[in-house]
Amino acid sequence: MDLRWLFVCTFLLVSLKELKAETPQQWIDIANAELQRALNNERIVKRPKNVVLFLGDGMGVATLTAARIYKGQMGGANGEETSLTFEKFPNLGLSKTYNDNAQIPDSAGTATAYLCGQKAALGVIGVNSNATFGDCASATGNHITSILEWAQQAGKVTGIVTTTTITHATPAAAYAHTPSRDWESYVEGTDEDRKMCKDIARQLVEDLPGQNIRVIFGGGRQGFVPNNETDPAFGSRGARKDGRNLLRLKGLDVSNTDFVLGLFGPSHLAYDLLRERDGPKQPTLKEMTTKAIDILQKDPNGFFLLVEGGKIDHAHHAGQARLALHDTVAFDAAIEAAVAMLPADDTLFVVTADHSHTIGMGGYPSRGNGILKGPEGVRAKDGLPYLTLSYANGPGASQSGSRRDLTDSKTEENEFLQEALVPLSVETHGGEDVAIYAKGPFAHLFHTLHEQHYIAVAMDYAACYRSNTPDHCRSPAPTSSGNDTREATTAASRATSFSAAATLIIVACFCLAMLK
């Protein structure tokens, strides 16, 4: 065996990893496919039968970029060329996420904005900006309704799907009114406060529009069971301090036997990557979403559905980037399934986030480098390696003033704690704009930088829930076929993969022949 050929083959195989798989012509073909998709995109100006709002909690732009790379690398690709399903939607805008009284928002005030059409204060749900956080009296007379309620009043059936508790900030803003997002199962304060204000779980079961929600899937059973009772489904105690068993109350309501309330965990559901480990077995977001659509689409009048990927946010707060990216990919799978189930010209799909997080991407890793790793062979000025993904603050920061040595760390482990700069027990939200993706009738209304509360107003205008004044609400408009050129892009990707595979085979065969 000639050692010179061994050196050449080793060099070729290592270099191949660094080569971009696309040829110059393939880059041209990819750009032309995108151009054709843009040229073929036509506005669909008609009232949508269905509206589906997908909310990725904490799903900022950096999360999207990292998640698409992670998704591609899960399938053996470089990752950078991959797209999430909704990133191919034809219309795109940005949302300004600040709360009425806060530069960087929380999920309660933002949910009130994009579901109720008004900016609100940090921590409040379903009340306007006159209400003060934690002040029960301030909420009186300041309740505002949500698009879910507008849809019900227009004769639509409605549903909520979430991976958090169903009384958490995002789903609660669809049906509840409270000056504190923390009052999921109990109103903290005086007896007078508890007379004036109901906890969120009670509002869901006892009040409108909660009573009329056709499908509810998520977690949070303990918020409906007294703290002196054991939930037979999970063997855990409830959280309610008022002695009420709202699940039993719900079961006694014969008029609602056609409605489905599925609570698949005592609190929030498990991270998608850890569902098997953290049993008992829970449904995926995709499974809950498709089942909800199966039920809702039986109604001939159409529906409004809110779907939240809530664990993206929880993973970021914990500084665990892999869990956040994996839940983003699971969120994307639910969207892909929903799009496949519903007619493109009859359903308005909107995908957005409530806020961002402080995660960022940095350094100069080579293309295809593992998104959960760092640039290979590169050290910082302190002599230590660093990662592509890190947080501006959070539990991954060093308390000693010097960084952790990650030399032997398994950075791709499920619950690896990502590096952070400022030491905090919990990572915070980020304040930058988030993306809005839209597809279907009136998707073109999302086209620029918008105030976040515009989202509810635009969906309402398209669906004619509160008004029949616009022309499309009084008479049907012609639909557009909206030809999709995803096949062209897919073909280019196939050619890219084939080219890379063919090159690898040629080099391998050449090396084998020389080494004999």
Residue 500: inside a domain, yes or no?
no
Structurally, the chain folds into a number of domains equal to 1
Catalytic residues: 107
Torsion of CA 157, 161, 167, 169, to 10 degrees: -100
Per-residue buried b or exposed e for 259-296, using 16+ beta carbons within 10 Å of the residue's own CB:
bbbebbbbebbbbbbebeeeeeebbbbbebbbbbbebb
Distance CA 244, CA 51 (A): 34
> Is 447 part of any known ligand binding site?
no
Residue 405: inside a domain, yes or no?
no
199-209: average pLDDT = 96
Residue 58: inside a domain, yes or no?
yes
- The pair phi, psi for residue 199, each rounded to 5°, is -70, 165
Give the strand pairing for 230-231 and 236-237: antiparallel
In the sheet with 157-165, reading across from the earlier edge strand, the strands are: 260-263, 215-219, 157-165, 303-309, 50-56, 347-353, 434-439, 91-96, 449-451
> Is 357 part of any known ligand binding site?
no
Instruction: State the pLDDT confidence band at 257, using cuts at 50, 70 and 90.
Output: very low
Residue 36: inside a domain, yes or no?
no
Residue 513: inside a domain, yes or no?
no
**What contacts 24+ positions apart, CB below 8 Å, involve 297-302?**
297/50, 297/341, 297/342, 299/156, 299/157, 299/214, 301/49, 301/155, 301/156, 301/157, 302/48, 302/49, 302/50, 302/156, 302/157, 302/346
Distance CA 139, CA 148 (A): 20
> Is 57 part of any known ligand binding site?
yes
Distance CA 409, CA 472 (A): 58
> Is 355 part of any known ligand binding site?
yes
Residue 77 gets which letter from DSSP?
Answer: S
Per-residue pLDDT reduced to its tens digit, 11-43 = 444 444 444 578 999 999 999 999 998 999 899
Its sign, for the CA torsion 120, 125, 131, 133, is negative
Q: What is the pLDDT of residue 242?
A: 86
> Is 314 part of any known ligand binding site?
no
> Is 411 part of any known ligand binding site?
no
Residue 423: inside a domain, yes or no?
no
Asked if residue 357 lies in contact with residue 391, where contact means CB atoms within 8 angstroms, the answer is yes
Torsion of CA 319, 321, 322, 327, to 10 degrees: 100
- Helix 107-116 crosses helix 454-463 at what angle (to 10 degrees)? 30
Question: CB neighbours (10 Å) of residue 103?
Answer: 8
> Is 170 part of any known ligand binding site?
yes
pTM over 0.85: yes
Q: What is the pLDDT of residue 20?
A: 57
Residue 458: inside a domain, yes or no?
yes
Q: What is the pLDDT of residue 235?
A: 80
Q: Look up the domain containing 287 and give its range.
A: 46-358+428-484
Instruction: State the pLDDT confidence band at 318, using cuts at 50, 70 and 90.
Output: very high
* 506 CB-near residues (< 8 Å, 6+ apart): none
Residue 35: inside a domain, yes or no?
no
Per-residue pLDDT reduced to its tens digit, 225-235 = 899 888 877 78
The CATH number for 354's domain is 3.40.720.10
